[in-house]
Structure 1
């Protein structure tokens, strides 16, 4: 299952899924502009502003997290900003607080950190906190939320990592970051005794 080609397919499907909604929103705004109804101009401007910001934030994140090479991965401040901007695109009604510590000059580690951001954000439903600590060899991520986390996704992650059991085919793209981390040679462990903790080494 985990061949480079299959992983590439999962990544492409995941990225497409995460972009398509906002591309559609941009299309709707363009249609309203073409109608020429000035009464809708404030709504059109708001739609264009929000959708373009979301697309920009996600595309920058995906390009660094999944791209072949990117010099920006060497810069800790850039990695932090791109991750923070990505988190802001997810659910403005239930914000996520992100704390992380990328390391200058550690592009592989910083890429793994970005993928970890994606995995942990995916299990948050109604806001929460992600704390990711790194050293030169390991990443430790902790997720806390006042609301229940996405238990089905957590179970899928544990079954995949601990039992080698794959999620249903329609759900596989959701876990593209995990497959990429494994392809990078990382070992992953999950602990759910106190919230959600993931160790990547």
Structure 2
């Protein structure tokens, strides 16, 4: 009997499709704003606000494309990730540090970014989120003066289903599922000043 082919990951395909389709119009808006600024026909805070909003939206789409899109072993360059995180955090109170050197498999970058999304709600007043690797294990650690300690939410990282999760919390269900598909397990720790996820 021939093996049954694996079903496509519809969630990831939908995520990739949405991000792909939104990138082009956002890019067109950004180009339009740039052309208006170059002609001098209009300017001022309104155009600057539109330009900043487009840049922020582009950064989020790039982030979501990696976090929610299709996971493969295709490498992602360090420069691309650092640039994306810099733009992603530009207007916020959280600083993002990407420490792994060189290219990394998209599958592991996806896990790291899902972990970042899990840690963000624990830092409601901002802080620092650092991604690092050592001996093949990845650590995503957030630090702040005060964290929001919600162990019930974080218990979903133990693969406890999707009950009571809101759309804004979907990463807590996706991370253990994606980690399992990559042959990894998720560990976590949460206290008054830090939140950490390991895989």
TM-score category (smaller protein): 0.5 to 0.7
Contact 2:98 2:130 in 1 (8 A): yes
Alpha-carbon deviation of 1:163?
7.3
Q: Does 1:48 align with 2:45?
A: no
Q: Does 1:78 align with 2:76?
A: no
Which residue of the partner structure matches residue 196 of structure 1? 195
Which residue of the partner structure matches residue 127 of structure 1? 126
Q: Which runs of 4+ in 1 moved over 4 A?
A: 7-12, 69-73
Contact 2:133 2:139 in 1 (8 A): yes
**Superposed counterparts of 1:84-163, under 5 Å:** 84-89=86-91, 91=92, 95-107=93-105, 108-135=107-134, 137-146=136-145, 148-152=146-150, 154-158=151-155, 160-162=156-158
Contact 1:73 1:79 in 2 (8 A): no
Structure 2: gaps of 5 or more residues: 1-7, 30-40
Greater RCO between the two (CA within 8 Å, min separation 6)?
Answer: 1
Q: What is the TM-score of this pair, normalised by structure 2?
A: 0.66
Contact 2:127 2:144 in 1 (8 A): yes
Q: What is the TM-score of this pair, normalised by structure 1?
A: 0.65
How many residue pairs match? The answer is: 170
The two structures, once aligned, show a CA RMSD in angstroms of 3.7
Alpha-carbon deviation of 1:48?
0.4
